[in-house]
Every structure is written in C-alpha cells, then in structure tokens.
Homo-oligomer: A and B are copies of this chain.
C-alpha cells in the first residue's frame, strides 16, 4: 500500500490500462505477448515490467500463465481511463479539437493531470458519462458502466440498433467516419450483408438525413452497436467468427 504512490509512472499506468482492457474482453488472464503487442514493446520488456508490477501489488503474476489486475491495479486503470475519456470529451467539446486527434493528446495528458484538474474538467462538462467516441467514462468513484455491444460486423441483415462507439485509437477510421457524418449516437440498420466477408450495407440516421454506407473490413469490426433485439446467444450458429463482447477501452 505504501509503495504504491512511488511506483506510478506513465509506463506503469499504461500497463494497467492495457491489462484492464485485454482482461475485460476475454475472461482469462492476460498473456504477456498480447500485452507486448498492444503496448508495442518486446515480450522481454513486458515480462520484466510484469515482475515489478507483481511485486508492488498491482497485478497477480503467475509466471508463464498470464496476469490479472488486483483491486489496486484496477483502480489505477480506471483512474487513467477516466482521465483519458474526460480529456477526450473536453478537448473536443471545449476546445473544438477534431475528433480524430483528441485521442493522441489525451494519451499523454491522462498521465499528468492532477486530481483537482480532473474535477474541474468533469464539472465543466457536467459530469458526463460517455466520451465523444461513445465510450463510457468511469465515475469519480471509479464505477464503469459497460454497455453490452456487438461489433457491427456481427450483425445480420435486418438488424437495427444504436451505433454507440468506435475505437478511439485509429485516427484514420475516425476521420473517415466523421467525413461521412457518422457519429456515435446514430441509429443504424443493416440492409444487406454481402457474402464472402464482404461489406455490409448499412443505413445511418433517420428521416431526412438517412444515408446508406458500405462498411466492411476492420472498420466493421471496430464499430460497436447496441442491438434492438436481444443479443444473439453465445455459440449460436450463423454468426461470423472473430467475436468479442465489451471491447475497446481507453
């Protein structure tokens, strides 16, 4: 407990954040290599850091078997995620920073803003609960309200729902979407599903500005939808592979 405050660097926070998101998208311990990929580091470096994080009590590390966050580690992750998402919203809302650039800026600032600044920003924004990409913002008490969402690519013809979020970390995708006037909060329905892993034809919006777009590839995997019907049972047939549920955190 006492060692905690000393051992808190951008690097440490990034590890916690990464472990948190990987942990929540698959219910198993997080593997060293997954972490190395996500952080763009070598497995060797990650392994060394995991040892340290284990020693200071942020994770439980069972060598060769992966890691899990402890309650302390989860708190670190959630704090940083809260910072990140508040900052994204703040930059977009209060400073008109373009949607596709807030992520990179928040990625740095999240590690250095004080508690006090965090509160001032939250207050200024009216204690928001979702950021401009549709990601939920943990509360000041670090409660995170994850919605059940599906990747767009998992929808079937005729499905409709709410486009709730998209990964914030790919500026290309974000620019692409905003150029086409697509944003979280839009209603959507799937008109057609091309075979052979092809794109989906999806109608966005309602009434006047209803428009169709063909969406496929990685984009269809990154866009998350809150379905009108109950989500399909796990294991049900006729759904494409590469599933996952909660998805994309910071």
Contact = CB atoms under 8 A, between A and B. Distances in A.
A147 interface: no
Interface in A104-157: 104-105, 108-109, 112-114, 116-117, 120-121, 124
Given A94-B94, A95-B124, 14 more contacts: A91-B117, A95-B117, A95-B120, A95-B121, A96-B120, A104-B114, A105-B113, A105-B114, A105-B117, A108-B112, A109-B109, A109-B112, A109-B113, A112-B112
Contacts of A49: none
Interface string A80-97: 000000000001001111
A175 interface: no
A113 B109 CA distance: 8
Interface of A: 91, 94-97, 101, 104-105, 108-109, 112-114, 116-117, 120-121, 124
A179 B101 CA distance: 40
A112 B109 CA distance: 7
A120 to B, nearest CB: 4
A97 B116 contact: yes
17 contacts: A91-B117, A91-B120, A94-B124, A95-B121, A95-B124, A96-B120, A97-B116, A97-B117, A97-B120, A101-B116, A104-B114, A105-B113, A105-B114, A105-B116, A105-B117, A108-B112, A109-B113
Contacts of A121: 95
A131 B95 CA distance: 19
A113 B95 CA distance: 13
Contacts of A104: 114
Nearest to A112: B108
A233 to B, nearest CB: 46
Contacts of A95: 117, 120-121, 124
Contacts of A117: 91, 95, 97, 105
A95 B120 CA distance: 6
Nearest to A104: B114
A203 B104 CA distance: 50
A116 B121 CA distance: 19
A104 B112 CA distance: 11
Nearest to A95: B120
A157 to B, nearest CB: 42
A106 to B, nearest CB: 10
